[in-house]
Structure 1
């Protein structure tokens, strides 16, 4: 039986900025349109967090039963390490998806935007089939594209639209920025796991691109949010506050560009997620009050 602490490790709490950041940016974009509703933003956050933890458990389950996690570095794998049964981890994933579904249903029912149920169903399916099913797209190099889509446009614009009923240029720019940050986290993760993924037959984008081009891709992705902040600053100088996120991302970029491998890349995931959260925390109020 896994302990509570091991279940928490398996949930990969350090990945949660991927869920929090886009909701913050979407809420800020809604406030810029005078459409912010705190409880709707809170429900959107519950949906995002539940989906994030659910996909983390789902990946643990699917990678574990395939044997992909047998030689992994990084956080504890519940199934791969044998501390939890595959059935229990799968149940935890489905339980999280259930929480997300209930929160999403309440949000949609309260706002009357029923077509968003289809978006929510797509999110759950994408979360499961990332590493689940017979042909998981995460094993074919499409993980980063999916992460960009669901943690960028879907999360940011979904949070914005459910409150305002419209999409703004600020929301779209924020969606691209958070999507780039989230994809960069996965790029760093897959760069770290490239040797074991290749052996296990998990053909991630990093495996397809090779080490050098994967490192270039990471640096390009983390540069995108700052380019967006600078481009938008003439119309709203408060957005320059987001440049503070350079502080945690610079050491991460140096590690990646400097050739760090294996466990040396673990801090890169942490620092990239921290930079994403800091970017969102500074950008959201700038959008709301700028």
Structure 2
């Protein structure tokens, strides 16, 4: 006699059988419900952005623990770490020039730890680096982000170069995880520490998006004009949405794997 399925397993099975458009609709509805919940329980919505950066830092800490304990970087994308370091460096520059605050300190810490991960992969753990699987051509994302930032950027009073740099780091952050997802798709099996790192990125991106959405609601749309005019406010929020959708599928399978008691995450074809 088969054991009865858990309610979450029944729901997961039902969702998995739905068409892609229905899945996308369910993701949107779930996200909106989560944002409304956060609006109710979190009174100062600035805390959400700080929490998002803290979760990102926790994800990096997981990577550091993996590298130090297991002495292997298998399953990690060097290219994704390099893209992360690039957008963090540009954002840190903008933060110093445009608005020095707590986010500047958090970005500094995250950049330092990311550079340490890059150093370990490049020079200390080279033998375990899976270069053949890390085959994403990063110029496919760096060049379009750079070109897009030239035409669509904030229209604030800051220097034009600074505004372009700000837009560039926003666009690049949205797609920086793509090489890591490509590595995981090539391997089909994701190790626990790597899965936890990517899941942390997904949570961080959602909290960041929730922060901006709630800020727009709280200011009744005035925040959008504070960000600038033209297409920039829409592109800014769209970049946040892109990050969430890129990671949403992986986060779903990660949660499903954890609930099922599996330490190693196995990806199906087309996932990530």
What TM-score do you get using the length of structure 2 for normalisation? 0.32
Q: Larger % of helix: which?
A: 1
Larger Rg: 2
